[in-house]
């Protein structure tokens, strides 16, 4: 690789003159500048920013750790890429601020995260962002306190600043919308009970019922997910059959996500029920490849992943600038996307 000395020799000038051309920190006449630039082009010289960064107060770099790049996509099932959408939101904000985003992928190994963080720190990043594939608790990455770190779509026990989807508010808003449409018997078929999102969405579901003065009926809540959708088709089917067999069956069913709702469409139709004339259906995620292509289109709640990334980047920039009056946890709401899968029982 060509060095500054090679360029100086090729151009017939001193290394100091080449340095002045590169850094713009001294007078160089136009003819000499052209000679130096031509030599650099001929030799394929690429300047190293290492020395400049050592002198600079700030590097202009931000490090981001994610699993989005190595995520395996199964073409047999519709799957969103929440972590990738979050990264896109981060990139948009940082680019506008003139920062360069460096991305490292975990390759599916969470034990690689500390090492990746250390590598970024060695490159003198101004801040760090860790992006998770779903709302969950993670082990603290253990970054030095002088380097701002933001967690996106996850949180830790150490209280690291975290940007999270507001799952509780989302399910509450959806349930309230169904009630406003005249539905009093609303069922909820959940994802795994162990998931953070499931716990929060159940709270939102019960918040909405309590706010309307409706007593919660445990028979209207059923688990539709255990380990994987390929194995749990029967679980969703059994949950729907149990709901339909109630003395007072639901007029609307909320499913834990849009993929489960899609499965529910087929099961309900196989039972002779029309959507939404006989029963209304709602999902969660606003995975548009499902929600907008189902017939009728699916009412759901948007998980605002890109906005989550934008908020994470904005807060990181604020912390880099020394702003200290920021919340340790920020919840990003997603709107209800009302479509034709819900029948209004009231005018």
Each domain of the chain, given as residue ranges in start order, spans: 4-47, 61-165+304-334, 167-303
Among 214-218, 241-245, 279-283, 343-347, the minimum mean pLDDT is found in 343-347
The residue that leads in pLDDT, 41 or 214, is: 214
**Are the C-beta atoms of residues 205 and 172 closer than 8 Å to each other?**
yes
Average pLDDT over residues 203-222: 96
Alpha helices in 123-215 (DSSP H): 167-180, 196-211
Q: 157: Cβ–Cβ under 8 A, 6 or more apart, which residues? A: 137, 140
User: What pLDDT score was predicted for residue 106?
Assistant: 85
Under 8 Å between Cβ of 163 and 129: no
- Rounded distance between C-alpha atoms, residue 282 and residue 338, angstroms: 9
Mean pLDDT of the region 270-295 = 96
Give residue 40's pLDDT: 84
What is the CATH class of 61-165+304-334?
alpha beta
Residue 106 or residue 337, greater confidence: 337
* Cα angle, residue 218 at apex, residues 215 and 221 outer, rounded to 5°: 115
Q: Say whether pLDDT at 55 is over 80.
A: no
CATH of 4-47, one of 1.10.260.40, 1.10.10.10, 3.40.50.720, 3.40.190.10: 1.10.260.40
- Taking the C-alpha atoms of residue 83 and residue 308, their distance in angstroms, rounded to an integer, is 10
Region for 98 from its dihedrals, namely left if φ exceeds 0, alpha if ψ lies in -120 to 50, beta otherwise? left
| pLDDT number for residue 303 | 94
**What integer pLDDT is reported at residue 12 of this predicted model?**
92
Mean pLDDT over each residue of the chain, to the nearest integer: 88
The residue-averaged pLDDT of 315-337 equals: 93
pLDDT score of 54: 45
Superfamily of domain 167-303: Response regulator (3.40.50.2300)
Reduced to 3 states (helix: H, G, I; strand: E, B; else coil), residue 40 is helix
Q: Lowest mean pLDDT: which of 139-143, 201-205, 329-333? A: 139-143
Residue 38 has pLDDT above 70, yes or no: yes
Dump pLDDT digits (tens) for 90-102. 999 999 999 999 9
Would you tell me how many other CB atoms lie within 10 Å of the CB of residue 266?
12
For 113, 264, 312, the CA distances from 87, given in Å and listed in that order, are 16, 31, 10
Check residue 229 and give its pLDDT. 46
Least confident of 3-17, 49-63, 135-149, 214-228: 49-63
Higher-pLDDT residue of 144 and 301 is 301
Of these ranges, 6-15, 74-83, 250-259, the one predicted with the greatest mean pLDDT is 250-259
Q: Specify the residue for token string 């060509």.
A: 2
Q: What is the pLDDT of residue 325?
A: 87
- Give the pLDDT band (50/70/90) at residue 170: very high
Is residue 48's pLDDT more than 70?
no
Q: Which is more confidently placed, 156 or 20?
A: 156
| Res 236 pLDDT > 60 | yes
* pLDDT recorded at residue 304: 93
Q: How confident is the model at residue 290 (pLDDT cuts 50, 70, 90)?
A: very high
pLDDT over threshold 70, residue 70: no
Range in 66-70, 105-109, 264-268 with the lowest mean pLDDT: 66-70
The DSSP secondary-structure symbol of 292 reads T
Kindly state the greatest CA–CA separation across the chain. Answer: 94
Does the fold of domain 61-165+304-334 match that of domain 4-47? no
**Region of 107 on the Ramachandran plot (φ > 0 left; ψ -120 to 50 alpha; else beta):** left
pTM for the full predicted model: 0.79
């Amino acid at each position: 690789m060509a060095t500054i000395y090679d360029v100086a020799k090729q151009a017939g000038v001193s290394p100091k003159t080449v340095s002045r051309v590169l850094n713009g920190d001294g007078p160089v006449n136009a003819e000499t500048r052209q000679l130096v630039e031509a030599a650099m082009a001929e030799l394929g010289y690429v300047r190293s920013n290492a020395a400049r960064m050592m002198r600079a107060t700030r590097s202009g770099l931000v490090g981001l750790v994610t699993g989005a790049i190595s995520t395996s996509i199964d073409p047999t099932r519709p799957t969103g890429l929440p972590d990738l959408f979050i990264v896109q939101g981060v990139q948009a904000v940082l680019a506008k601020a003139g920062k360069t985003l460096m991305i490292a992928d975990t390759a599916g190994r969470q034990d690689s995260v500390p090492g990746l963080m250390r590598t970024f720190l060695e490159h003198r990043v101004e801040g760090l962002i860790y992006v998770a594939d779903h709302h969950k608790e993670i082990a603290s990455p253990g970054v030095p306190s002088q380097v701002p770190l933001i967690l996106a779509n996850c949180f830790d026990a150490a209280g690291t600043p975290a940007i999270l989807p507001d799952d509780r508010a989302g399910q509450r808003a959806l349930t309230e919308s169904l009630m406003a449409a005249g539905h009093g018997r609303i069922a909820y078929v959940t994802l795994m009970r162990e998931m953070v999102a499931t716990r929060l969405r159940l709270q939102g579901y019960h918040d909405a019922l309590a706010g309307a003065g409706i007593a919660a009926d445990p028979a209207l809540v059923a688990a539709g997910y255990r380990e994987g959708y390929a194995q749990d088709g029967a679980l969703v089917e059994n949950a729907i059959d149990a709901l339909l067999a109630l003395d007072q069956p639901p007029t609307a069913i909320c499913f834990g996500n849009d993929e489960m709702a899609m499965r529910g469409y087929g099961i309900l139709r196989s039972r002779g029920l029309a959507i939404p004339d006989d029963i209304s259906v709602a999902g969660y995620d606003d995975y548009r490849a499902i929600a907008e292509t189902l017939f009728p289109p699916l009412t759901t709640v948007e998980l605002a992943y890109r906005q989550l990334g934008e908020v994470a980047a904005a807060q990181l920039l604020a912390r880099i600038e020394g702003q200290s009056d920021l919340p340790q946890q920020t919840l990003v709401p997603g709107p209800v996307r009302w479509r034709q899968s819900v029948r209004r029982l009231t005018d």
